[in-house]
Chains A and B, each alone.
Chain A
Amino acid sequence: MKKTYRDGHPALRALVFVVLLLGSAAFIVPLLWTLSTALKTNEEIAQDPTRLIPAKPTLENFPEAWSALPFGTFVTNTVFVTLVATFGTILSASLVAYGFARFQFWGRNALFYTMLATMMLPGQVTQIPVFMIWRTLGAIDTFVPLTLPALLGGGAFNIFLLRQFFMSIPRELDEAMLLDGASYFGIWWRLILPLSTPAVATIVVFSFIGNWDNFEGPLIYLNSPENYTVSIGLRMFQDTFGTNLGQLMAATLVHITPTIILFLLAQRYFIKGVAISGMGGR
């Protein structure tokens, strides 16, 4: 399946289309089950959980789920946190990655490896100390622990990813701009970022989805129900006495809809970077 067709060969394109169709079907099946469960009454879920087409489809789970908890507030909170964190992540991660990718300075490699190393220690053992730090700063039950880290680099994952992309951009382009008198900030803003549109779009998608779905963070740092996010709300449907599957699936579907839309919209940024080609043949 490792073909690199560009255009032409209509028969092969049709084959690709068929493969895409089949693959999508396979990947979409679990989601169809989620949809079908969301449309079932609780009795039917109890009696026949694995049936794909509900016998008595109903929309009651959706308004019930919405009114069971203050989802309006949850959504507002989640939107706020997600937007701030995503925006902050793109700005700071790209800046830091630019520093790691393009510059030589004392301790660069050590700092880079240290940054990677922060991903290697399981979070469970740092949870309590980190919590205590935020508590000393008086940030418990605010959105600060969920948003400030985004401005301070946005996470090793994003920095590492962008660094890899930036190192693929030919240096000659930088040097050309420097000769024209651009500042390093200018190079970052006007050359590196625009040429990395697919990478930046990727980070936007990941960051948005990551923050939108983030459960651990809000669970640990938020106390007042007015501050809760949607992911906590979703978890409430699962309790010790049996999950209310219908409402959980309905709420889940509504919850992932914005991420689906975002993903679809982000597609137009997955375009080929235009002028990456080397100056002169390689």
Chain B
Amino acid sequence: MALSTSVRRWTQRPSFWGFLFVTPWLIGFLLFTAGPMLTSLWISLHKYDLHTMEYVGGENYRRLFSKDPLFWKSLKLTVTYALFSVPLGILGSLSIAMLLNQKVRGIPLFRTFFYLPSLVPAVASAILWQWVFNAENGALNLGLAIFGFAGPQWLQDENWALPAFVLMSLWGIGGGRMIIFLAGLQGISETYYEAARIDGASPWQQFRRVTLPLLSPVMFFNLILGIIGSFQTFTSAYVMTGGGPNNATLFYALYLFRNAFEYFKLGKASALAWILFVILLAITLVQFGLSKRWVHYEGDSR
């Protein structure tokens, strides 16, 4: 009797339910994610080529930091890429989302057109982009020529290859991030704008006082995911430039992949992975700390 009462008391606590709802994820995590993550940390403390394994402690990390110029080059260019593509991407996708939030004839069709580039699978996309960036007769340089500019060599030029990738990332501003912003915009009730208009707010003030704050949870999401995603850029570099020219597009994830699957230096690759992990974790924690100042959750009064 006492058992069923205490059970009933447990099931009446909201925290029990909250935990219960989270368990599907927790099970999956414990079964499939936690082990492999810890395994890779373990491997990073070893020399491992899929055949022999030898404990070396922090040697992989020490060598990366002190004896590997490619590590620093790769990290630096990946950070540069993130610094440009993330803010530009958020700005761009927000603008397009606002554009596509209008009540205009055929808006579903327009939204589809903007989203189309994101629907093309990676391989076809890479071939497409190689054509766009073709220095002689690619779409981009032809377009620039119309305005009288001589376009650079893009993917064959050490200084322009990374900017090319930033440009390419902007093509995705009609993509996933935009959709998320759009969903967010759609979730802002009209009554807020009406109230603001009644108070005499201009469109810009409406944007600043209503749209931005109510959009902030979604903006925060795009920011975090944007940073994580940009640091993990891989497929486009692998297919289009192979890291060149002269390692100008040797993205961190590509360098990691090479060490793992082409050189079989799995200890080093795992160390690279965990260094990235720590960097991303640090950035995310900082963002979460800062978010208390500018992210506004309507439904969270705590």
Contact = CB atoms under 8 A, between A and B. Distances in A.
A161 B221 contact: yes
A277 B183 contact: no
Contact of A271 (B186, B234, B266): B186
Given A103-B15, A133-B32, A122 B276 contact: yes
A99 B21 contact: yes
Contacts of B210: 4
Interface in A196-254: 196, 198-199, 201-202, 205-206, 209, 213, 215, 231, 234-235, 238, 243, 245, 248-249, 252
Contacts of A108: 18, 22
A191 to B, nearest CB: 11
Interface stretch (A58-66, A76-84, A124-132): A124-132
Nearest to A114: B29
B131 to A, nearest CB: 6
Q: Interface size for chain B: under 10, 10 to 19, 20 to 34, or 35 or more residues? A: 35 or more
B166 interface: no
Interface stretch (B64-72, B94-102, B242-250): B94-102
B85 interface: no
Majority secondary structure of chain A interface residues (helix, strand, loop or mixed) = helix
B187 interface: yes
Interface stretch (B132-140, B144-152, B157-165): B132-140
Interface residues of A, number: 109
A151 B298 CA distance: 29
Contacts of B21: 95-96, 98-99, 103, 184, 188
State the 3 A-B residue pairs at the shortest beta-carbon distance, nearest first. A103-B18, A152-B28, A99-B21
Interface of A: 1-7, 13, 16-17, 19-20, 23-24, 27-31, 33-34, 49-50, 92, 95-96, 98-106, 108, 111, 113-122, 124-126, 129-130, 133, 149, 151-153, 157, 159-161, 164-171, 184, 188, 196, 198-199, 201-202, 205-206, 209, 213, 215, 231, 234-235, 238, 243, 245, 248-249, 252, 255-256, 259-260, 263-264, 267-268, 270-278, 281-282
